[in-house]
Structure 1
């Protein structure tokens, strides 16, 4: 008798909490329930930005990253509340505890979503669909919140699946259905495809995964660079990325949105002093150094730019971080432009230098 072998597929779950911040506020404050609720900056004065919106508010077209003033125009009777990040972090920790009952292979993407690899689950349940159902039930029973789950053979498809039946959804896309699912998926729905790329695809006559599948890898690479190869593989259901429980820190940042728009260089530099100190403290805590310092600027009209400077050796001292951020600010400063947000980040990390301090100082003199 001829021996047969089955392909071993991963069992990946993507869990995404439903309107997380808003749902927490509605859970904790009965007066918010059933009403359009916006969590984020308040619309009064200069106004802030929407962090998230309840499903009642989303029905009016309100979404995250939208200016709060615009959200108020869309729904004049919406309720606006400031976020309580410490509360959200604590709930996120409890959600992670529920995940860890089933697997240690957990890759958090943010406070409200994560990938889980349950190919070998702790409780020997065997069925990823059953595990996803149990996790959703535990979150609802213990935390009084709802989550949506996508279950499939890889991270990309699982993430796409979790968005299909929101809120409180559960969608399974098995191995035999993956390619058909990707073929019917609109290009704008592809995770990682932004508005600019989606528009470019549409101009090329690419509206669904099936359209992308008609192009060769070389054609996609010519049009979209390195991303072209990714598109070529993903429309065929190929995604070999592993769930990484301890993702390497790629960048470390701090930023602040101000109560009023800054107009003078003196005001901006005073704020950079505070932000640089936050970044410095976080670097020390994580024992990291970075070769690239990036300044983020958001103007009063919401236009955003970044400027960066790289060094031949990693840096982690407050003086260098602060001085570089101010130098980048002065290069871009225009008296006619008011600023609503400033941020500083470090990336391109290396290990902290353990040489004697005298030698480190000698190296840092060369940076300027």
Structure 2
């Protein structure tokens, strides 16, 4: 029988990421309650991120500005600066890549890192390695990071969400055989991937906490929900064989990225902010490989696994490109053509049918149109 060595995987999460970046840029707001909102001029605008001080007043993401001001009249409200957040996120990715070559972006403020191959360089102490990562991110970006650690991505994610974010120091190592002690008593709604509809169905089955789900016969869940039933059972039991996959590969046939959102997004403008983020990352990587793409793909889905929503569509471009503004225009067109208006929890964008940027000959009109365009 082949012995499979346990891995050492971290999920690095940035605390109040957008708000933290704004506070770093504006030291005068360091000790003030600050939120990032889509349109500060409109009291009906939505809070996108809140710093810990603002949260201490009861301010939460997704609530209207007027509601937040009732709780905290001295609230500092700033507009989002998405390009800046993207740049800081990429800076943090580079920091993690100096610790391991296996780094995977889960969202703009969450990254998985598999440290198994480089752990020996840090005295085989995963906690010490996490502290060094945390310290470097804070020193170089001003953002406070938390680290959930486990033998796979599921345990690392659960550990970060349920434990590391809530303790002093922000670092915790969760062993699979201790899930019962730290996780199983938590309500079922706290489990990664459980939406409100699935929670109601599980409650009707008498499943109220994560431990009860973990100990439910798999056959019963499979019969009810098929593969989705098996997925939530595996998550509850900390079972996951998926690798930490770096975002860049040689000889790529497709370059894509996806983002799981922190909550349901219902407004078109806030979804567009995320789509722009994804397009910027993809185009930057495409240019880095010296490539261009001719086919744009967009996908979105909701939070409830038992009620599939969303779509996946693609569009053939007239000319191959790696320019963000062109890709974003196509992505927006695709999204608004097929979006049914239902809440969105995950978005993905991809560029395929790739070709070398060096061999593509722009027409004279294309050159004239793009002359003076600065690609950052």
TM-score by length of 2: 0.67
SS at match of 1:188: helix
Q: Find the counterpart in structure 2 of residue 257 from structure 1.
A: 269
Q: 1:290 to 1:18 in 2, by over 3 A?
A: same
Residue 268 (structure 1) aligns with: none
Runs (4+) of structure 1 exceeding 6 A deviation are 283-286, 291-296, 305-310, 321-333, 345-349
Distance 1:295 1:243 in 2: 22
Judge conservation of contact 2:255–2:350 (CA < 8 Å) in 1: no
**What is the distance in 1 between the residues matched to 2:41 and 2:117?**
51
Question: Which of 21, 38, 41 is matched with 1:41 structurally?
Answer: 38
CA distance in 1, matches of 2:352, 2:91: 32
Q: What is the SS of the residue equivalent to 2:12?
A: strand
Other-structure match for 1:83: 80
Q: Which residue of 2 aligns with 1:106?
A: 103
Q: Is the 8 A contact 2:255 2:352 kept in 1?
A: no
Which residue is 1:210 aligned to? Answer: 211
Kindly tell me: are residues 332 and 9 of structure 1, through their superposed partners in 2, closer, same or farther at Cα, counting changes over 3 Å?
closer
Cα distance in 2 between the residues matched to 1:101 and 1:331: 40
Q: Which residue of 1 aligns with 2:134?
A: 136
Q: Cα 1:330–1:287, aligned 2, differ >3 Å: closer, same or farther?
A: closer
CA RMSD of aligned residues (A): 4.3
Aligned pairs (5 A) from 1:323-342: none
Equivalences for residues 6-25 of structure 1 within 5 A: 8-25=5-22
How far off its partner does 1:326 sit? 7.7
**8 Å Cα contact 1:38/1:54 also seen in 2:** yes
Q: Tell me, yes or no, if the aligned pair for 1:294 and 1:308 is still in contact at 8 Å.
A: yes
Tell me by how many angstroms 1:288 deviates. 4.0
Distance 2:140 2:115 in 1: 22
Match of 1:221 in 2: 222
CA distance in 2, matches of 1:29, 1:328: 35
Task: Figure out how many residues of one structure are paired with residues of the other and give that number.
Answer: 312
Give distance in 2, aligned partners of 1:327 and 1:25.
32
Q: Is the 8 A contact 1:10 1:117 kept in 2?
A: yes
User: For the residues of structure 2 that align with 1:113 and 1:45, how far apart are their CA atoms?
Assistant: 30
* Distance across 2 between alignment mates of 1:8 and 1:186: 31
Q: Secondary structure at the match of 2:269?
A: strand
Match of 1:351 in 2: 353
Structure 2, unaligned runs of 5 or more: 249-253, 260-266, 302-308, 320-325, 342-346, 357-376
* 1:97 corresponds to which of 94, 97, 103: 94
Distance 1:40 1:53 in 2: 9
The 2-side partners of 1:239 and 1:76 are apart by: 45
- Cα deviation for residue 203 of structure 1 reads 2.9
After TM superposition, list the pairs within 5 Å mapping 1:1-368 onto structure 2: 8-45=5-42, 47-121=44-118, 123=121, 125-163=123-161, 164-166=163-165, 168-246=169-247, 249=255, 257=269, 287-290=292-295, 315-317=316-318, 351=353
Q: Structure 2 vs 1, CA of residues 9 and 67 (structure 1 numbering), >3 Å: closer, same or farther?
A: same
Are the structure 2 counterparts of residues 306 and 241 from structure 1 closer, same or farther at C-alpha, using a change threshold of 3 Å? closer
Q: Which runs of 5+ in 1 are unaligned?
A: 259-270, 297-304, 334-338, 340-344, 355-368
